[in-house]
Structures are given as C-alpha cells and as structure tokens.
Amino acid sequence: MTALDLSAPDHTTMATRLLLPDATDLLSHDRRHGAVPYRGGPGILIESLESAGLTGRGGAAFPTWRKVASTAAAAGGGHRAAVVIANGAEGEPASSKDAVLLGMAPHLVLDGVQLAAEAVGADRAAVYVEAGPAMTAVMRALAERKGTGRDRVRMQLVEAPTGFVSGEESAAVAAVEGRPALPRTKRRLVTESGVDRRPTLVQNVETLAHVALIARYGSAWFRSAGTATEPGTFLATMGGAVAAPGVAEAPQGILLADLLALAGGPSRRLGAVLVGGYHGAWVPAAALATTPMSRAGLAAFGATPGAGIVWALPASQCPLVAASLIVTYLAGQSARQCGPCLFGLPALAADLARLADPRAAGGLDRLPGQLAALAETITGRGACRHPDGTVRFVHSTLRTFADEVAAHGRGQCLGDHR
Amino acid sequence: MSTPTRTPTIRTLRLHIDWVACDGRGMCTELLPELLTEDPWGYPAPVRLHGRDPLPPNGIPVQDDLEPQARAAVAACPLMALRLERG
C-alpha cells in the first residue's frame, strides 16, 4: 500500500515522522504515505485518536480526540455541518515549527484536515496561516491537489495577521469569519459555536499532521515513540545560545539536554532554558540533564512543553534583563481589548524593567512584592489567556532567579561577577 | 474503595464579566461593593475574601442574599458587560 513501510522494525523507534526528507510535493508524499485513508463517516476516527493519546501541539496539549468528539457531537452526525480550522498562525517569535512543517510536509497537514473534517462532519475547512513561505507552501500544495479527487471538503486559505494573539482559538474563528483576528469572550465553546455559530474544530497544523499519520499507521505505531502518558513525537523550535538554532523532531519525554543536542548543543555556558515560549517557564541549566520534555517532567518548574519552544539563556546574560525584554514585548502584543491586559501588562513590564537595572533609583527591594501583587490583579481577567501566560512567565522568572532578584534588590547584578 | 457522596447539585449563581466589553465605567463596583472593587485602572476586580484567592475561572460566585444587588449591577452596566448565570 505504501512505498515506505513506517511500521517496519527499523522505523518503530524512529523519531522522524513529520519532517521526512523528500515528501514535500504531492507525488513524493503520495509515494511515501499513499491516499487519504478516509474512514467512511463521522466519528469513526475518534477511537484511534483516543487510543493513540494524541494531544494538541499548539500549546495547550488538550486531548485531540475529546475536541474532535465534542465537535462531532455538536454537529450531530452531520445534522449541522461543522467547520475545521487548521491553525498555522504561530505569532510567537521564538517558534517556527509550524512554518517548517508546512514547508516540508504540507500534504500531511492537508490530509489531516480532510480526515478531521470527515470525523467531525464538516463541509468546509480553512487553513489559517501567516503570509510568507508557509503560506506559499500551502498555496502550492492546494494547487497540486486540485482536480485529483483527494479532497472531499473545500479548503480555504485564510491569512493570519502577524501578532502574538492572532493564533488564539477565537481569534482564528474571527479571521475565518472575515472579521479582525482578535480573541473574543467565549460564552460557549468554539467546538459548539465557532465559525458562523457552527461547531468548529480548531487544531494546530502539527496536530493535524499527526492525525494523518495515526489514520494510516495506527495508534500502536504512534505510541512507539514518546512516553506511555505522553506518546508520539513533537516539533521543537530551539533558539538562543545553541550552536544550530532551528526546528527538530523528537520523542516526547526526551531529556532537555538531549533535545538541545539536536540543535548542536549549547554554544555557551547556559544559565537556564525557557521552555514553552514567552508564556512558558524557566528550567535552570543544572536540571537540563535530568528533566524530560514532558508535562510530567516539567511540572516541578511550573512549565509545560507548550508549542515546543526551547530558548537557551547564556549564563553571562542577566536573566532579569532577558525577562524584562520579553515582558515588554508581550505587553506590546496585547490586543488592547481588555483593561486589565491593556494597562496591567505595561505596568508589569515597567516594574520588571526597573528591577532589571540594579543601578536604577532605590526601592528595588519592594519591587518583587509589588510585581507579585500586580500579577495577581491581572490573572484571570481577560477574554484570552495572554495576561495569564504573561503572569506565569513573570512568576517563573521571580522564582527561578530568586538570587538574582535579591542581588538586584541590593543594587548588584550577579551577571557582573560571572 | 470509597464512593463519592452524592450531594444535591444546587448550582451556584455566578457573575461573569465580559472583559472585551467592559470599559471600567464603575457602576458595578458602586452597586456591588460586597463582591467587586476597582483595580488600579478602574476596572472591576473581585473582592478577595482571603486576600490571595485566585479569581475563579468560571465567574465570581454570588451568595443568594446578594442576588438583588447583583441583578441591579447587571442591569446598570451601560456596556452590558455583566451577566449572571447558574453553573
């Protein structure tokens, strides 16, 4: 059936599933993976997704089968046509895995869209992606599929504006509806009421590529990589002080040190690694050799794998300066819709910037307490999770670099002595 | 193995704030000071009874005796940013 048998023994532990070389154009994709394995009706694929244990790769790690099942249920077995959105909007500057995936394996993603559409009972789908190489790759792939009979559901290309929050689920729904891509207050779940109030499944493009593989090679095959509780592979974007920054595919649960080795390893002595992106949390360098990239392994640091971002901070750089730059950026990325985010994040950024400069005017010793109070005021008060994610990062910074925070309170910076 | 005790489900009345709609006009914090206070920028924030309780993700619980005031606050919001729901 397939030219390359991915279930063959020498491939069972292979961590390269999504980013296979030479599977980009439709002909080579088809030669390697074959036709779209349609199941013949809504709901049928859900069982495979559940036994595979696939979770969303956009950051929240929500079980994919549950999202598919609730969308399918809301659609009532095709009674109300649902909509599928392939979310390729990675507004996070530290992430490029979705763009790399769409560039290398666009047909895997589009096959996943078709299979998800069948599973939920959708009659239309949208690929939501930023302008640039990723969009060009999708356009080319859609053109290749035209007239081949491969697709049962029409797929529309929708441009995602650049920006941190444009990939948020309700922002993606708004964009597909032709409105500004802004998060909105969700009175009902998007799976029940999304695009034009129809049941809507929004899945990250990497998640959909995994769906396309699970449908072909099965859940046992999927589980042959990763851990028992967090199976499969994931795409990581690695940056900062690593020798070869970029995107790599690895089994879930890989030790952070081994993951960094896939990016050539640290280029300088590291102080810490930011895991999960700008809404993520820090893991100190001393823990890299023993900490797995998994929800279970990262829980001790208040971190999660998120969308697979790993950013290495060199020991020579003051972590509070780095954190301050990130929070200033995040404050600027507010959609400016919700007061606590619009005013709270700049206040948070200003306090952190003061703390980052130990030579600034006095009163620095009171800043950590002030920051914590501000963080608490902001939490949970927005249409989306942008304020909460920013607060999580600030908390992690104060916790991980408590020594540095204390030193700055005394008017010193530990970085000065490194 | 113990089985969970079955309690009658009386669903709590909860106050939800639509943060996109809210502009910090301040009617609700005046009408419902038992539950809402103003944050440093004038937006409603839940009164933290225990100082550090995090905001409940599914809305601010409203005790039965405060229901009339809560309904008044919902009705008074010029931006219709408040709603009450049992859940």
Q: Is the pLDDT of residue B55 over 90?
A: no
Q: Which two tokens stand for residue B53?
A: 């309780």
How far does the CA of residue B59 sit from the closest CA of chain A (Å)? 10
Report CB contact under 8 Å: B55, A380.
yes
SS3 B46: strand
Q: Which CATH architecture fits A233-314?
A: Roll (3.10)
Residues β-bridged to residue A203: A86
How far does the CA of residue A171 sit from the closest CA of chain B (Å)? 13
Local structure of residue A10 (DSSP, 8 states): G
Q: Which two tokens stand for residue A129?
A: 């992606």
How far apart are the C-alpha atoms of A211 and A115, rounded to whole Å?
8
Domain membership flag for residue B75: yes
How far does the CA of residue B19 sit from the closest CA of chain A (Å)? 5
SS3 A367: helix
Report CB contact under 8 Å: B55, A381.
yes
CB neighbour list of residue A91: distance below 8 Å, 6 or more residues apart: A130, A160, A162, A163, A164, A165, A166, A167, A333
Report CB contact under 8 Å: A383, B18.
yes
Q: Is the pLDDT of residue A152 over 50?
A: yes
A256-269 pLDDT, tens digit each: 999 999 999 999 99
Which of residues 319 through 358 in chain A touch B, CB cutoff 8 A?
Answer: 337-341, 343-344, 347
Report CB contact under 8 Å: B23, A337.
no
Domain membership flag for residue B52: yes
**For residues A365 and B38, which has the higher predicted lDDT (pLDDT)?**
B38
Domain membership flag for residue B67: yes
Domain membership flag for residue B3: no
Residue B25: closest CA among chain A residues belongs to which residue?
A339
Report CB contact under 8 Å: B54, A377.
no
Residue A345: closest CA among chain B residues belongs to which residue?
B41
How far apart are the C-alpha atoms of A317 and A310, rounded to whole Å?
17
Report CB contact under 8 Å: B19, A382.
yes
Select the residue from A165, A338, A351 to test the B interface by mutation, using most B Cβ atoms within 10 A. A338
Local structure of residue A8 (DSSP, 8 states): S
Q: Which pTM value belongs to this model?
A: 0.91
Per-domain boundaries in chain A:
9-223, 233-314, 319-417
Q: How many domains does chain B have?
A: 1
Q: How far is CA A103 from CA A129, A247, A275, in A?
A: 12, 12, 24
Q: Write down the residue that tokens 């009408």 correspond to.
A: B31
What pLDDT, on a 0 to 100 scale, did the predictor assign at position A415? Answer: 73
Q: For A117-121, A126-130, B42-46, which range has the lowest pLDDT when averaged over its residues?
A: B42-46
Report CB contact under 8 Å: A380, B43.
no
Report CB contact under 8 Å: B41, A339.
yes
How far apart are the C-alpha atoms of A92 and A329, rounded to whole Å?
11
How far apart are the C-alpha atoms of A355 and A372, rounded to whole Å?
13
Using a CB-CB cut-off of 8 Å, the residues of chain A touching B55 are: 379-381
Q: Which amino acid is at B33?
A: P
How far does the CA of residue A383 sit from the closest CA of chain B (Å)? 6
Residue A346: closest CA among chain B residues belongs to which residue?
B41
Report CB contact under 8 Å: B57, A380.
yes
Q: What average pLDDT does range A271-282 have in this prediction?
A: 96
Using a CB-CB cut-off of 8 Å, the residues of chain A touching B43 are: 339-340, 343, 381
Strand order across the A154-160 sheet: A154-160, A122-130, A82-88, A200-204
What pLDDT, on a 0 to 100 scale, did the predictor assign at position B53? Answer: 59
Q: ipTM value of the model? A: 0.83
Using a CB-CB cut-off of 8 Å, the residues of chain B touching A376 are: 52, 54
Q: Write down the residue that tokens 């301050």 correspond to.
A: A324
Q: If you average pLDDT over every residue of chain B, what do you get?
A: 84
Q: Which two tokens stand for residue A40?
A: 């013949």
What pLDDT, on a 0 to 100 scale, did the predictor assign at position A70? Answer: 96
Reported CATH class of domain A319-417: mainly alpha
A89-107 pLDDT, tens digit each: 998 889 999 999 999 999 9
**Virtual torsion, Cα A369, A380, A59, A199, nearest 10 deg:** 180
What pLDDT, on a 0 to 100 scale, did the predictor assign at position A112? Answer: 98
Report CB contact under 8 Å: A377, B40.
yes
Q: Which CATH architecture fits A9-223?
A: 3-Layer(aba) Sandwich (3.40)
Using a CB-CB cut-off of 8 Å, the residues of chain B touching A377 are: 39-40, 45
Q: How many beta-carbon contacts under 8 Å exist across A and B?
A: 52
Residue A383: closest CA among chain B residues belongs to which residue?
B19
Q: Write down the residue that tokens 């009979």 correspond to.
A: A149
Q: How far is CA B79 from CA A22, A338, A359, B19, in A?
A: 55, 13, 45, 11
A132-143 pLDDT, tens digit each: 999 999 999 999
Q: Is the pLDDT of residue A35 over 90?
A: yes
> Residue B66 maps to which CATH number?
3.30.70
How far apart are the C-alpha atoms of A187 and A190, rounded to whole Å?
9
Using a CB-CB cut-off of 8 Å, the residues of chain A touching B18 are: 185, 383
Residue A372: closest CA among chain B residues belongs to which residue?
B52
A360-402 pLDDT, tens digit each: 767 777 888 889 889 888 988 998 889 999 999 999 999 999 9
Q: What average pLDDT does range B48-55 have in this prediction?
A: 58
How far does the CA of residue B5 sit from the closest CA of chain A (Å)? 27
Local structure of residue A373 (DSSP, 8 states): H
Measured on CA atoms in the order A195, A196, A197, A198, is the torsion positive or negative?
negative
Among candidates B20, B23, B55 on the partner chain, residue whose Cβ is nearest the Cβ of A184: B20
Using a CB-CB cut-off of 8 Å, the residues of chain A touching B21 are: 185
Segment (H or E) for A272: strand A270-275
Domain limits at B79?
A: 24-86
